[in-house]
Structure 1
Amino acid sequence: MCKSLITIFIALVCGGNLSFAQKKNVLIIFVDDLRPELNSFGANYIHSPNIDSLNARGRGFNRHYVNAPSCGPSRYAFLTGQYGLEYRGESNQSLFKRAEGVNDENVSIAPSMPEWFRNNGYTTVSVGKVSHHPGGKGGDNWNDSNILEMPNAWDKHIMPVAEWESPKGAMHGLAYGKVRTPDNRNIIEVVDGNDNSYPDGHIAEEGLRQLGELAKGDKPFFLAIGLIKPHLPFGVPKKYLDRYENIQIPPALHSEKPKGKTTWHGSGEFMNYNRWDKDPREDKKFELELKKYYAACVSYADKHVGDIIQKLKKTGADKNTIIVLWGDHGWHLGEHAIWGKHSLFEESLRSPLIIYDPSMDNKGQMSNAIVESVDVFPTLCDMTTLPIPNFTEGISLKPLLDNADTQGHEAVAFISDATTIRTDQYRFTQHKNGAVELYDHQTPLAEQLNIAERNPKIIQQLRTLLLSKTADKAFIFSKK
C-alpha cells in the first residue's frame, strides 16, 4: 500500500518527467553527398562496417529518393516534411528564404521538424552540417548569429570550426585548417594525420559531448549530427585510403552523355577544382583514383558514425533512442558523364536511408519500396507518438518498419527548371520549356533511353500523378 502511494505521489509531483521518460529520443546522422556507396547497399568493395551494422539492426530503404539533388533544398524537404517547390529558384538558400517568413509576423510558416519536437517537449540540438550552412547561420562567413537558417528550431545549433576559424572555411576545408581558395583547391588530398585532420573529426567529438549531456537530461532529446564527408574536396587521412590500395572498383555504368533535352550538366562544381588538367570522363586511371578517394571518404564518415552509435550505447540511452541515418542526395561517379549531383537522374536522387528503433521487429530486412525524404518527419512523429502535423507532404513509413514488404509510393524531386517523379517502373521528367523525359527502369537501358515520343498515354498518366503529388499550384510548367 505504501509503495503504491509513493508511486502515485511521484507521478503527481514529477508527472512531466515520467511522461518525458516514456518518450523515445531521436538521433539523426546526416551524411553529405553520400550515394548508396555502402557494403550493405550492394557496393561490396566499400569498407563501411558501422553503417552496415546499423542497417543489419534496423530497416534500410534501398530505393529512398531525396526531393532535390542539392544540399539546401534537399535538407529543406527533410527538415520540414514539405517539398519546398515555392523556393525552387532559391537553391541552397531555401531555408534562409523560409526563415524570412518565420521572422515576419504577418506570414504563417509551418514549424520545421526540430521545432515540432521542441514544441512537444524535446530538447533539440544540432551539431555540424544539418541545415545547409554548418551551424545554421548566415553572413559572409556563415557565423552571424542574427541570421538564422532555422529560427525556433534548436535549443543549441553548434558548429565547431577548430582551426578552420569559420563554418564557411570548414565546409570545404582541406587538412589542418587550410581553407579552399581560388589558388588552393585540390580535388583530392591525403595526409598522415589523425581523424581530427579534417572538420568531421571535430564535429563528431562535439556530437559525442552533446550526446553525453542529453542522455543525462530529464527530457527526451532530438539530436542531429551532420558530417561533411564525402563532400568535395576528397581529402582524407591516409589510413582510410590505404584500405583501397589494391581494390578494383567497377567502372560507371552508362557513362555516356545522354542525348536530347535532359538535366545533364557539365559537372561545373567538380570541374572547378584543381584536377591537374585531368578529366575522369576521358582518363580511366584518374577515374579509378577519384573513386578510391570517394570510397575512403565514405569509410572516414563511417568511422564517425560508429563512434556516435557507440557513445549512445555507453550512455544507456540506446535502449530508448530511434536512430536515422540519411544521405542528403546521391552523387554521380561518372554515370551519364557527370561527376557531382544537381541532375534529376537516379544517381543524384537515390541515397541511403536507414531507420532503427530498438523495439522494432523483423530487423535487418531491406525494404525495396520507393520512399522519399519528406516521409521522415511524419514517420518520426508516428514512432514517438507525437501528433503527425497535417502540413507535412510525406507519408509515415511506420508500416514499412513493421513489415519490410509493404508497398511504397512515388517520389518527387525538382530543380529550378524541371520536376521528376519516380514510380516503380518509370521515371518521368517535365521541363519548364515543355520537354519531357520518360525512362523505363524495367529495361537494361533505363535512363539512357528516352521513350517519351512513343508513350503519350503513359506520359499523361504520370503528369497527372505528378500534379496530384505537388498540389498543382506548385507545378507551373507547360503541359505540352
Structure 2
Amino acid sequence: MKLKNLLLVLLVCALSFFQCSKPSKETKPNILLICIDDLRPELKSYGANYISSPNIDELAEKGVSFQKHFVNAPSCGPSRYTLLTGQYGPATNDALFQRANKIAQGATIAPSMPEWFRMHGYTTVSVGKVSHHPGGRGGKNWNDSTKNEIPNAWDRHLMPVAEWEHPRGMMHGLAHGEIRVKSGDMNVFQTVKGNDDIYPDGAITEEALKQLKALATRNENPFFLAIGIIKPHLPFGAPKSYYDRYEGVEFPAIEHPQKPEGRSTWHGSNEFKQYNRWDKNPNIDTVFADEVRRHYAACVSYADAQVGKILGELKRTGADKNTIVVLWGDHGWHLGEHSIWGKHSLFEESLHAPLIIQDPRMNNKSSKPNAIVETLDIFPTLCDLTGIETPKYTQGESLKAILVNPEISGHSAIAYKKGASTIRTSTHRMTLHQDGFVELYDHTTAEMETKNVADEHPELVEALKHALHTRLN
C-alpha cells in the first residue's frame, strides 16, 4: 500500500514537473487599430478646448498623444497605403489596388502590416473603412469579392451596409439611407434628429462591437482588429444631439484665412464645392463658414462617441489589459485656412493628424511628446511593441523609445502628392515641386506657412532637398 502511494506521489510530481517545464505559449498583446477619416487634430486633447471629444481624450489620458504626427499623403488612398504597408507608395487613391493588381499578376510584393501579423499568429479582422474602400473591395459599388484591395491581409474584412445598400453608398451616405447619386443634389452638411444608427457609422460600430467581443472571448490567438470610422468625412452629417453640443460655443478665428500669394499647392476646394452649398462661399460668408465648422465638429463628436463604444466593449471583455490601442487620423482637413475647405494640399493643415498609442503595459499616461513622427512609423512600432520581428522593408522608425521617454527627439516627416513632395522638420517645412520650384516656411515665426522664405535660405533649401531625395529614393 505504501509502495502504491509512493508511486502515485512520484507520478503526480512527474506530471507537475512536465507541465511546469513545458514551454508556455507566449501571450502576445492584441492590437486594436481605430482609423478615423478626415480627422484633423482639433480635439480637446490636442488643445481645442471648444471641441467635445471625451472618449478620444480619455484614451489620450491613458496613453501617448503625439502632438506632431504627420501623414505621408494628404488623401485617403495613399495615406492608408503607407499605414498598411509601411512603405512610401503612389500618390493616388487607388494605390492599394495598384499593389493588388501586381500581386494578381504574379509579382512578389512585401506583406502588408495585417498580413505580417497574420503570418505571425494573429487573427486579423477589419470592419469599416480601413483601406481606401470601406470593406476593402472593388467593383462598381465596392462590394466585388473578387477585387480585394489588400490580398492576404484579413481573416475577415467586413462592411455592413444597412439601408445604404452597398459600401459605396455608405461612404458618402447621409441619414436614413440617403446615398450620393449626384453630388450637387446632396447637402454639404446635415443635422437630423435620431440615434447613432441613422448614419452609416452606427452600423459599422455595431459590427465592430460584435467582432471585438468574439475575438476577445472566443479567439485562441491574439487579434489584430482594425476599425474604420467614416465621419467626419464629407458630407458633414451627424445626429442633431451632437450638433447641439456646440450651441453657444464660440469657435476661434480661422488662422491665416487668406489665399497664399505666389505659387503653392493651394487648390480650389473642389471636393467641398461639389456638394449643394446653397450658392454660399465660406471664404466670404462668415456665417456659413461658422455653420460648416460646427457641422464638422458635430461629426467629430459623433465619431468620438463610436470610439467610446468600442473602448467600452474592449474594457467589458477584459481584453483591455492586454491590448495595444492605436487611434489614427488618415490626414488633416482645412476649415478655411489658406482659403481651403478640404485636404489635398501639402500645407500643415492637410498633413497634421492625431496619433494616440496606448499600451497598458507601459507607464506613460498623459504623455504629449512634441517629437515629429509620421504614419510610416506605425508598422515598425507595433512590431517592436509586440515582440514580432520588424521586416526590413518597412521605411519608418519604431516609436517605442519615444513612448518610453517622451522627451526623445523624433525625425523629419515626408509627404507627397502628384507633382510635389514636402519635408517637415522641427523648425521648417520645405515643399519641392516637380519642376524644381521651392516653398520654404519657417515655423518659428508668426507667419508660419504664409511667407515663402526659400530665397533667404539657399543652404537650408539644399540640405532639405538632399534629405527629401534620400528618404524618398
Alignment TM class, shorter chain as reference? over 0.9
The reply on whether 1:208 has 2:229 as its aligned counterpart is: no
The reply on whether 1:326 has 2:328 as its aligned counterpart is: yes
- 1:365 aligns with 367
Equivalences for residues 36-115 of structure 1 within 5 A: 36-84=41-89, 87-88=90-91, 91-105=92-106, 107-115=107-115
Specify whether residues 303 and 8 from structure 1 end up closer, same or farther in structure 2 by C-alpha distance, changes over 3 A only.
farther
What is the deviation of 1:104? 2.4
- 1:163 aligns with 163
Match 1:354 to one of 353, 356, 369: 356
CA deviations 1:164-199 (Å, max 9, x no partner) are: 010000000011111012153100111111100111
RMSD: 1.2
Give the partner amino acid of 1:98: R
What is the deviation of 1:10? 8.0
What is the deviation of 1:5? 3.0
Answer with 95-104 or 224-233: which moved more. Answer: 95-104
CA deviations 1:187-239 (Å, max 9, x no partner) are: 01111111001110010010000000101211000000000000000011000
Question: 1:447 aligns to what SS in structure 2?
Answer: coil
What is the deviation of 1:108? 1.6
- 1:173 aligns with 173
CA deviations 1:43-63 (Å, max 9, x no partner) are: 100010100000000000000
Specify whether residues 242 and 455 from structure 1 end up closer, same or farther in structure 2 by C-alpha distance, changes over 3 A only.
same
Distance 1:119 1:126 in 2: 16
- 2:126 aligns with 126
Give the partner amino acid of 2:236: F
- 2:198 aligns with 197
Specify whether residues 191 and 470 from structure 1 end up closer, same or farther in structure 2 by C-alpha distance, changes over 3 A only.
same
What is the deviation of 1:7? 6.8
- 2:33 aligns with 28
- 2:186 aligns with 185
Give the partner amino acid of 2:378: V
- 2:404 aligns with 402
What is the deviation of 1:3? 6.7
Question: 1:69 aligns to what SS in structure 2?
Answer: coil
Question: 1:428 aligns to what SS in structure 2?
Answer: strand
CA deviations 1:446-475 (Å, max 9, x no partner) are: 10000011211110000011111112xxxx
Question: 2:25 aligns to what SS in structure 1?
Answer: helix
CA deviations 1:271-295 (Å, max 9, x no partner) are: 1110000110000001111111111
Give the partner amino acid of 1:69: P
- 1:424 aligns with 426
The reply on whether 1:19 has 2:25 as its aligned counterpart is: yes
Give the partner amino acid of 1:437: E
Give the partner amino acid of 1:235: G
Distance 1:344 1:188 in 2: 25
Distance 1:113 1:76 in 2: 10
Distance 1:378 1:40 in 2: 25
CA deviations 1:301-340 (Å, max 9, x no partner) are: 0001011001001111110000000000000000000000
Give the partner amino acid of 1:307: K
- 1:5 aligns with 15
CA deviations 1:17-59 (Å, max 9, x no partner) are: x525x10000000000000010010110001010000000000
Give the partner amino acid of 1:318: D
Distance 1:463 1:191 in 2: 49
Give the partner amino acid of 2:62: R
Equivalences for residues 247-262 of structure 1 within 5 A: 247-262=249-264
What is the deviation of 1:251? 1.9
- 1:377 aligns with 379
What is the deviation of 1:259? 1.3
Distance 1:367 1:469 in 2: 23
Give the partner amino acid of 1:166: H
Distance 2:15 2:325 in 1: 37
Distance 2:415 2:329 in 1: 15
% identical equivalent positions:
58
Question: 1:60 aligns to what SS in structure 2?
Answer: strand
Specify whether residues 9 and 71 from structure 1 end up closer, same or farther in structure 2 by C-alpha distance, changes over 3 A only.
same
CA deviations 1:382-435 (Å, max 9, x no partner) are: 000000010000000000000111100000000010000000111001001211
Equivalences for residues 267-306 of structure 1 within 5 A: 267-306=269-308
Give the partner amino acid of 1:380: L
CA deviations 1:130-173 (Å, max 9, x no partner) are: 00000000000000000000000000000000000100000000
Specify whether residues 314 and 451 from structure 1 end up closer, same or farther in structure 2 by C-alpha distance, changes over 3 A only.
same
Question: 1:225 aligns to what SS in structure 2?
Answer: strand
**Structure with max Cα Rg:** 2
Question: 1:124 aligns to what SS in structure 2?
Answer: strand
Give the partner amino acid of 1:245: E
Distance 1:213 1:341 in 2: 37
Question: 1:448 aligns to what SS in structure 2?
Answer: coil
Question: 1:190 aligns to what SS in structure 2?
Answer: strand
Match 1:243 to one of 228, 237, 245: 245
Specify whether residues 466 and 3 from structure 1 end up closer, same or farther in structure 2 by C-alpha distance, changes over 3 A only.
farther
Taking structure 2 as the reference length, what is the TM-score of the superposition? 0.96
- List structure 1 segments (4+ residues) > 2 angstroms apart after TM superposition: 1-12
Specify whether residues 284 and 316 from structure 1 end up closer, same or farther in structure 2 by C-alpha distance, changes over 3 A only.
same
Distance 1:368 1:55 in 2: 14
Question: 2:266 aligns to what SS in structure 1?
Answer: coil
Distance 2:285 2:334 in 1: 16
Distance 1:463 1:367 in 2: 27
Structure 2 residue runs without a partner (length 5+) = 1-9
Question: 2:69 aligns to what SS in structure 1?
Answer: strand
Distance 1:369 1:362 in 2: 15
